[in-house]
């Protein structure tokens, strides 16, 4: 369990992944303002992370749910590798910040990638899933935690 559960999310300002476009427009990076007023799932991922590949189909399903926003933190990755990964396996993220130094991930309490956080409307971290989103954890415990955050 994370010591950040029940605490405000850390200030998060990350530039976009250079050259990452969707529908001819640059995919935005992350800013603390990205999280205001809605529930957000934050997925920390990297192109070199094999389990990150396995979770993409589950993230794509989550990304289609309009009740919350799915955003990514690309951890210690080269921009070209991150773009290649998203183009090959899928890009479920509404926004994606490049955390080249890994400093932001440290602020979030990341142990290793992938990790997914639920942030409620007030900007409080309510849940942390360590490891890939999968068949075994999507419907429980992840979705009930998202549902709880939507009611807060």
Give, for all 152 residues of the chain, the pLDDT tens digit.
678 999 999 999 999 999 999 999 999 999 998 888 999 999 999 999 999 999 999 999 999 999 999 999 999 999 999 999 999 999 999 999 999 999 999 999 999 999 999 999 999 999 999 999 999 999 999 999 999 999 98
* Burial (0-12, 13-18, 19+ Cβ within 10 Å), 43: buried
pLDDT at 132: 98
pTM score, whole prediction = 0.96
pLDDT at 33: 87
Q: In sequence order, what are the residues at sequence separation of 6 or more whose Cβ sits closer than 8 angstroms to the Cβ of residue 132?
A: 51, 52, 54, 55, 58, 114
| Helix (H) or strand (E) segment spanning residue 80 | helix 79-89
């Amino acid at each position: 369990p994370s010591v950040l559960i029940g605490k405000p999310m850390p200030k998060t300002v990350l530039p976009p992944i250079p050259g990452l476009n969707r529908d001819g427009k640059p995919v935005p990076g992350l800013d603390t303002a990205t999280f205001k007023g809605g529930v957000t799932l934050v997925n920390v991922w990297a192109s070199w992370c094999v389990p990150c590949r396995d979770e993409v189909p589950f993230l794509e399903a989550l990304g289609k749910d309009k009740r919350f926003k799915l955003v990514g933190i690309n951890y210690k990755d080269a921009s070209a590798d991150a773009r290649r990964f998203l183009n090959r396996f899928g890009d479920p993220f509404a926004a994606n910040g490049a955390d080249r130094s890994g400093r932001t991930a440290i602020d979030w309490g990341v142990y290793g990638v992938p990790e997914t956080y639920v942030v409620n409307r007030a900007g409080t971290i309510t849940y942390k899933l360590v490891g890939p989103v999968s068949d075994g954890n999507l419907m429980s415990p992840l979705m009930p935690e998202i549902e709880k955050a939507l009611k807060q």
